Structures are given as C-alpha cells and as structure tokens.
Structure 1
Amino acid sequence: MRYETDVETRIFIDGVARSAQDDRTYAVHNPARPDECVGHAARGSVSDVDAAVRAAHRAFPSWAERSYSERAELLGKIAELLVADEEDVSFRSNLFCREHGKILKETRLEMTRLGDRFLLAASYADRLQKDETLPEPPFDTIITRQPRGVAALIVPWNWPLSILGAKLPQALIAGNTVVVKPSQNSALAPTLTLHKMAELLPPGVLNVVTGNSSEIGDALVGHELVRRVNFTGSIAVGKHVMRTAAEHLTPVTLELGGNDAGIVLSDATLDAAAFMRMYLGAFMSTGQICMALKRLYVHRSRYDELVDGLSAVCARQVVGDGLLPDTTMGPLNNRKQLGIVQSMIAEARGSGADVKEFGKVPDMELYANGYFQKPTLVFGPEPSLSVVRDEQFGPVLPIIPFDDEAEAVRLANDSDFGLCSSVWTEDRERALTIARRLEAGYTYINGHGPTAQDSRGPFGGFKQSGIGRNLGYEGVLEFQGYHSISAPAGWLNGG
C-alpha cells in the first residue's frame, strides 16, 4: 500500500496561510513504513514565531472586547465546519493515520470528536459572563475576570487534536488570542485542521507555526508578548518550558504525563467487557496516551483470573499498518519511543520477570521494518524496574499482585507521577474511599483512559505530572486572571 507524496502544509499568521521563512520545510514519514514520506510541513523560524505572536497581540484587544456569546457562536461554527465535509474528514483522518501510525478508527475518532470540545467550551458562555458581587460594608466589590492576552499552546504528537481540544477552545472563549505549535512528529493533519478553524476567525486570533522545537520552542515560550503558556509533553521539557517562561514571569499550565495505576479489588467484575475496558485503557493508540493504564495492581485472589482474561484479549489483536481494516494496533510514532519501550522490556526480561508478547502479525516484513511492538504484559515485576517506575508510553503493561487495600494504595502512590488512576470494584463506598486516597488528578471507576473520560471535569495532575488544569470550566479559568473592583459601600449597587 503506497501513496503519493502530495501533502505540504504551511504556517498560518494573521489570517493568511504562507510559507515559512526562506520556504523551509521538513519531511514527515510513515512510522509503519519509515521509508515512505507522507508529506512536508513548513519549518518555521524564530522570525516566523515573532510574526505570529505579534499578530496575535494586535488582534487581542478587539477579540477580548467581544462578548462571551459572540465568541461562543464562532466556536459553534468551528464545530460544524470540522465535520461538514465528509470527503475532507476522510482525507485528514487517512493522512493522520499515515503520519502518526495509530489505527484509522482512532484518527477518525479524533477528527470527528474535536468539535464536541468546542461546543462544550461554548456552553460555558453564560456562566463566564457572571461576576461575583460582595455588597457588604465597608465596600461594594465585584470580582470579575479578564483574558490574559496571547496564549502559546504547545501540542504533543500522541493525541494532538484531542489535546488541542482541551486547551484551544478554552483559550478562545476566555478571550485570548493564540499561537499554536503542533509537534513536528505529527504536524500535517493537525495543521490542516487548524487552518480550517483559523479561517473562520478574525485575522490574528488563531496562528499556527510548525517546526523543530529545539529551534523555535524557546522563541515562543520566552516571547515577551506571550501572557500564558500551555504545554503538554515530557517532564524534562516541561521543566525547561517553566524556566524559559519565568524570564517574563509568564504563567504556565503543564500536563507532563503519568504512570497511572489501576487497582483491581477482590470484588471486581472481571468479564469480557471489563477486560476490554482494561485493554483499551492500557493499549489504545499503542499505549501512547498520557492517561493510559500503565501499572495494574490486582488482589491476589483475582490475579490468575485477570492474567488469563487480559492475555486472551491481547492475543486477539492484529498488529500492522493502521490503514488496513483488520489492524487493531499500529506502530509507535517514532524510532526513539520504540527504543525506550523495547529497552524497558529487555530490562524486565533480564531481571527474570515473566514477559509475554501477544498478538498476530500478518506482515512480518512490515513489522520488522516499521516501529512496531506487540502488546506485552509483564507479570509480577520488581517495583524498581523501569517498566514499573517510569512512564512506558507504549504497549507494555506490568501486572502486580497485592494482598490488602492499604498495600495497593501505597504501591499506587509510590510514584513521582500523579496524573490518573482507577479503581475496579462493585462496592461504591470502597471505590470512593480508595479514590480519595489516591494521589492523582483524575480517578476512573471501573474504566480507565479516554473511553472513561468526562470532558466536563478538569484534567491535570499532581507531583511531576504537572501544574494547572485543562478541560472543564476550570480549564477556561486557567486562561484568565481575576480582577477585583471595589467602591465605598452602597456605591456600586446603587444603595
């Protein structure tokens, strides 16, 4: 299966799609077939970043002056536009599959569900326009909020459109103008999607610059006119973003991934549906999800049953090119991430842990040449192993028995991460009691990951999983600052 290389994306600044400085581009390759060039993206420069930020800065006053309802109306139009042309949706979904590697079903899910997050942000308009009033003496005080200005949104490669939907509509409804930098590893379909959005907005409200992070990342994060940075990515880069933003005291929201623990209690329902939810929680998008199930702690009385059930689901998976209809797991996105995952598996094997790979591979030549790894389970590994301590971000899951709930909570919390967690039980009170003891920003009950996520709730983590929140009403407030207005008692309320 081959495709012509005919896709080239440009940057978008001040209402115009244009080439990067000196017409620079870079190639994007298919991780299932690394020798296949999918297309070329504009390689933006520092001067391109500066032009984008200044365009957003110029557009900010008039955008901020619009009412919440006016901005919400435009978000609704974006949501409609994203799915209005079925041929275009299919084209962008296929392109996304080829440049990213995830299966077509998942790329189409991202494309078609993105508009839902714009509609959700738009639904907050009435709530956002209401101020809080404090009429008691000695003062009348109004507590309101105002947008910050230019927001820099930096999006990773793993679920770029879903993550974009957790910050872009929130920034816009809040009254900010935006510069988006997609990941260079997954830039084509996301950039085309962003262009469609930007064309519906006033010039300068939404700007897009693609390119190498090492070349333009600091120029964006550290720009003197950027008033908010929202970054999703690794801990190491997140710390660098925070240091760079500190030069101008620019506030940051950081979502830095996780090492999510799931706790399966003795009374959990372990049927076919539950095993499929666990599988999707751990292995959807080849495990390349920040909120994926990455450690599974199972009560010893149910351990063998769970191992057998989850192993059976893994064994049915078909690993290959994500465009093929029978494929259920595609490649990892890039060679570096494949190497990280395979080194964890090798370390676990070397330690004596029981490691098993599952799944069917119809095309072994493709598998050998692409960035593939079959779904892998590691049974009873030592807690010091990297497959337990670190975020795998790939299709490997350690399964560890425990004897009592206190031990399970201790093991789950014994991590530098604190993004998500899950509790599997039929007892509501036990579920809530344990959930409240887990050091995580989000806890799922009898599910885990994207299929269990409520976008109305704020999303983010504790500890090294980050700072601040995306999604929900609270995700909008991240893009605003509080503004208190006081007058002598009785003055503002006309008393």
Structure 2
Amino acid sequence: MTDTTTAREVRTGLFIGGEARDTADRLEIVDPARPGAIVGTAAAASEADVADAVAAAKAAFPAWSAMTAQQRAAAMAEAIAGIGEDRDADAEVLSRENGKVRFESWVDALVFELRWNLALQLADEVDTGSTLPTAPGIPVRTEVQHQPLGVVTVIVPFNWPIAILGAALPHALLAGNTAIVKPPPSAPLATTLVVQRVAEKLPPGVLNVVTGRDAQMAGLIQSPDVAKVCFTGSVNGGKRIMAMAASTLTRVTLELGGNDAAVFLPDAILDDTHLDRLYAAIYDTTGQICMNAKRVFVHRSRMDELVAGLSERLSKAKLGHGLDEGTTMGPLHQPAQKAFVEEIIQEAKDAGADVREFGELPGGDLAGGNFLRPAIVVDPDLSLRVVTQEQFGPVIPVIPFDDEDEAVRLANDTWAGLCGSVWTADPEAAQRVGSQLTCGYVWVNDHGATRLDLRAPFGGMKQSGLGREQGIEGVRAFQDTRSIATIDPEALAAMAH
C-alpha cells in the first residue's frame, strides 16, 4: 500500500519546440479522495506560451511531413521504446490525481503504448492512393492522393487521459502532422510526464505539451495555423470546441458522451463470467467512462436474476483510495460530478423508484472525499434523469421490456449514439438486434472500454460525436484528399475524332 499522505508532490512543465519550459503561474492538482491533499502542480501556460507551441509545431511540419510514412513510423517506434519502464510510477501519479484504482491507471498507460504500436503497423497504407484511368469523355489519368493537414491539437479528458490520447495522437503523427497535446486541467500530471518522454525523442516541435487554464487555451483551437482539433470529453464541451473552431473553419473530431444501452434478450447467459463483464462495464472507473453501459434493458423474465447478480457483486464493493490495497472503487473525480450524481439518485428516490445502494463510505482522512455509494435503480420511470442523461457515476437504471422491438426502440430513444451491446446465446439474434442499434460500436455478450478492439474505427453517432479514431480510418481523419489529373494525349486525340 502506498502512503499517499506523504507521497512527494509532482511538478510538471510545458514542452515546446523540444525544450522544457516552466511557468510562474501553476495549476494546483488535488487528490479527489483526500480533501485538501495536493498531488502536485502543473504549468499554467499563458497565451504567449500557447502561441509559441503552435509556432513550434508549424515550424516542424515541413520536415516531418516530407518524410515517408515508414520513416515517421521508425522515428515513432524509437520514441515509444522503453515507455513502460516508468509505468508503475505513472500509474501511481494518475491514481492520485484522478482517483481511480491503481490497476486501471496502469492499464491506462499500457493502452497508450498498445495503440501507438498498432498505429505504426498502418505505415504502408498511409501514403497509398488510387488511380482513376481515362474514361469516355474524360481524357485524363487522375491520381487520388492523401496529404497531412498541418498542426493538430489533441485535447483529452481526465478519466482515461493517456489511453485516450493513444486513439488519436499516433495516427496524427503517422499521417505527417505535428501535434500539440493538451492534458486535462484537473489531472494533467501523468499525461504530461508520459508525453514529454516521447516528445523528447522526436524532432523538436513535432510533439508539444501545453497545460493550463481553459481561458488561455483558445489559440490551440482558433489559431489560423491549427488545422484540426481532436477533442474527447462531454457533449457540452464538444459544442464549445465546435463553436470556437467555426471561426477559422478548423476541422474537428469529437468523441463525446454516451448513454449506452445494454440489451439482454430472453436467452441471455447470466453466469458469473457474463455478470462480471456487465459489472465492469457499468462500474469501472466509478462509472466515469463514456462507453460504459448507462442503461440496462432486460427481458422481464430475466429481470430479477440480473438485478440479483449485480447486487451480489456490489455488496462486495470496497470504496477507498485508489492506491489502497483492497479498494475496488475510488471516488468521483470532481465534487460537482458527485453532486450531480447524488441529485439524480435523490430524484429517483423522490419519484418512488426502487433505489438500492451498496458499500460503505470511507472515513478517517478520506471522509469528505468525492465518494458515492454505488447504486441500482430498478424499473424507474423512463423520464427520470438517471435514464435520460449520462450519469457518469456509479449508478445504473435497470429497465424491463417485453419484446425485441420494444427493446430496440427504448435503446435508440436517446440523444446519444456512442456504443451499445446485445446479450444473447443466439448469434443471429445478436446480429439482428445489434444492427438496429443507432451507435458507432456494438458488442455481443460484453461491453466496455476493456473489450474495445483497438484496431477498429471508433466514434459516435448523433450527439456522441463526429468522426472516427483508430485504424486506417483514424489516420485518414488527419489527412486531406487531393486529385492530380494528367492529360492523356491518346485519349484526347481519340475524343477529337
């Protein structure tokens, strides 16, 4: 067990144009589990620092984009080498600033490396274009090519910041862009440490890190020298980014919130393996994952069985500091989020819903931390906010249905379209129902971030976002397409006759 009361404070700076930079203004980062405990401080960039980062990335772009994709991949492979040597220390810092349990923080850093290396496997496809031959009435041979955009800003959230960065950053760099990473202001330390170690091994300006207050960050979005912004966060945050980007017609990829439906058909398998998967899909990171299950729809004949299975697991939940031995659920990251989740749970209680809460709040120096007892809301009114809004906390509504058509209708009756899942022993039923869910990613008999295929395109529909990350689609999102047409004299002559 780590003694987090005496752990050293972490101090991080900016990294711009290949050089570390300190700032007089600092962000104070607090431990969400222990009120008043300071984890460390991060540099708070000024508008001038932001402008310098954009200028450094712009200056590095010509040489970096002139390389072949294979040359960039080789440089990136060298830059990521050895990143895992500090993973234990990175995970400890992330748990202290984020609140989640150590193992999740360790996996967070691991997934960044996995995604980076999977992206490098796409190097041979990056520059691959196509040729349109001459055709009747079109006397040209046209080459369709892909080219990088320029300077890209990647903005990541607090919950899985390092892993989420891996879904976009390596693809942007491999495509030939230079990048500026903006870690989350409430939990920037571990992300900054990891990215700087990679950036130090790349040519100066190719990869930059800027932390600070949002009020000084507009240049990362609205500078005419920024070609694209890739943002992961809340729906409202995505709307703000999109509105800001509109002033310069800066492109955006937005990976936003979800209200994921998990649909359990009458023949769903509810053994320990599948119930463990469901529990993790709901309560991992204290429910603070965009692609967690947020609404469970279960055939009425299996309702009691599913609720009992979740209740059994929740009865074993141990709330505590993320670095403490035996802790299975940490605090919520922000007091405001704790207050919101408390509010929607109380609203459900006031409406007469069957709300079942589990676990004990920790005491001692953790009393007053952002802890919340995990809960199930059984058969709530569908108008309650615990159903209609993204909870982003340790609570789930479990809702019965009577037939398949009703289940699909209820699952799709939401503003969101990030992910969904179908649980059934029948592969044909899984395909039938899964293909009707209006969302960007569907699991069968599983759900959640730990089961994501890191090679597959990922992104949302409806208000869950724009664009796709991962895979060759993720690379193309950081490229533009151009056509080069060359006159074919023979085809032109044939037209003249």
Answer whether TM exceeds 0.5 for this pair.
Answer: yes
How far did residue 359 of structure 1 move?
Answer: 2.6
Matched, 1:331 2:310: no
C-alpha distance after superposition, 1:160-186 (max 9, x if no partner): 011100010010001000011111111
How far did residue 395 of structure 1 move?
Answer: 0.6
Q: Secondary structure at the match of 1:47?
A: helix
C-alpha distance after superposition, 1:387-427 (max 9, x if no partner): 10000111111000000010000000000011000000011
CA contact (8 A) 1:82 1:112 kept: no
CA contact (8 A) 1:423 1:444 kept: yes
Matched, 1:38 2:39: yes
Matched, 1:389 2:388: yes
The answer for the alignment partner of 1:135 in structure 2 is 133
Structure 1: distance between partners of 2:212 and 2:235: 21
Residues 388-397 or 70-79, more deviating: 70-79
The answer for the alignment partner of 2:427 in structure 1 is 428
The answer for the alignment partner of 2:298 in structure 1 is 298
The answer for the alignment partner of 1:15 in structure 2 is 18
How far did residue 490 of structure 1 move?
Answer: 7.0
The answer for the alignment partner of 1:58 in structure 2 is 59
Structure 2: distance between partners of 1:113 and 1:469: 18
Q: Aligned AA for 1:233?
A: G
Structure 1: distance between partners of 2:276 and 2:236: 33
How far did residue 257 of structure 1 move?
Answer: 1.0
Structure 1: distance between partners of 2:72 and 2:246: 30
Q: Secondary structure at the match of 2:35?
A: strand
Structure 2: distance between partners of 1:446 and 1:76: 35
Q: Where do 1:351-366 residues align within 5 Å?
A: 351-361=351-361, 363-366=362-365
User: Which residue of 6, 12, 15 corresponds with 2:9?
Assistant: 6
Unaligned runs of 5+ in 2: 492-497
The answer for the alignment partner of 1:410 in structure 2 is 409
How far did residue 360 of structure 1 move?
Answer: 4.7
CA contact (8 A) 1:132 1:142 kept: yes
C-alpha distance after superposition, 1:463-493 (max 9, x if no partner): 111111111211111000001111123799x
CA contact (8 A) 2:179 2:207 kept: yes
CA contact (8 A) 2:156 2:184 kept: yes
Q: Secondary structure at the match of 2:82?
A: helix
Matched, 1:321 2:321: yes
Matched, 1:186 2:187: yes
Q: Aligned AA for 1:237?
A: G
CA contact (8 A) 1:145 1:483 kept: yes
Q: Secondary structure at the match of 2:173?
A: helix
Structure 2: distance between partners of 1:119 and 1:489: 42
How far did residue 4 of structure 1 move?
Answer: 4.0
Q: Secondary structure at the match of 1:33?
A: coil
Q: Secondary structure at the match of 1:248?
A: coil
Q: Aligned AA for 1:182?
A: P
CA contact (8 A) 1:320 1:366 kept: no
Q: Output the TM-score relative to the length of structure 1.
A: 0.96
Instruction: Spell out structure 1 runs of 4+ moving beyond 6 A.
Output: none
Structure 1: distance between partners of 2:365 and 2:458: 37
RMSD: 1.3
Structure 1: distance between partners of 2:212 and 2:276: 38
Q: Secondary structure at the match of 1:268?
A: coil
C-alpha distance after superposition, 1:86-108 (max 9, x if no partner): xx222111111101100000001
How far did residue 451 of structure 1 move?
Answer: 2.0
Matched, 1:453 2:456: no
How far did residue 148 of structure 1 move?
Answer: 0.2
Q: Aligned AA for 2:127?
A: Q
Question: Are the structure 2 counterparts of residues 491 and 336 from structure 1 closer, same or farther at C-alpha, using a change threshold of 3 Å?
Answer: farther
Percentage of matched positions with identical amino acids:
47
CA contact (8 A) 1:180 1:207 kept: yes
C-alpha distance after superposition, 1:30-74 (max 9, x if no partner): 001021101000011111110000100000000000111111112
Structure 1: distance between partners of 2:53 and 2:157: 19
The answer for the alignment partner of 2:495 in structure 1 is none
The answer for the alignment partner of 1:67 in structure 2 is 68
User: Which residue of 101, 104, 119 corresponds with 2:102?
Assistant: 104
The answer for the alignment partner of 1:167 in structure 2 is 168
CA contact (8 A) 1:79 1:116 kept: no
Structure 1: distance between partners of 2:469 and 2:490: 38
Unaligned runs of 5+ in 1: none
Structure 2: distance between partners of 1:211 and 1:170: 25
Question: Are the structure 2 counterparts of residues 197 and 300 from structure 1 closer, same or farther at C-alpha, using a change threshold of 3 Å?
Answer: same
The answer for the alignment partner of 1:157 in structure 2 is 158
The answer for the alignment partner of 2:310 in structure 1 is 310
How far did residue 205 of structure 1 move?
Answer: 0.4
Structure 1: distance between partners of 2:270 and 2:64: 52
Question: Are the structure 2 counterparts of residues 491 and 261 from structure 1 closer, same or farther at C-alpha, using a change threshold of 3 Å?
Answer: farther
How far did residue 209 of structure 1 move?
Answer: 0.6
Question: Are the structure 2 counterparts of residues 318 and 487 from structure 1 closer, same or farther at C-alpha, using a change threshold of 3 Å?
Answer: same
Structure 1: distance between partners of 2:221 and 2:64: 22
Structure 2: distance between partners of 1:77 and 1:103: 30
Question: Are the structure 2 counterparts of residues 457 and 490 from structure 1 closer, same or farther at C-alpha, using a change threshold of 3 Å?
Answer: farther
Q: Where do 1:213-362 residues align within 5 Å?
A: 213=214, 215-361=215-361
Q: Output the TM-score relative to the length of structure 2.
A: 0.95
CA contact (8 A) 2:331 2:372 kept: yes
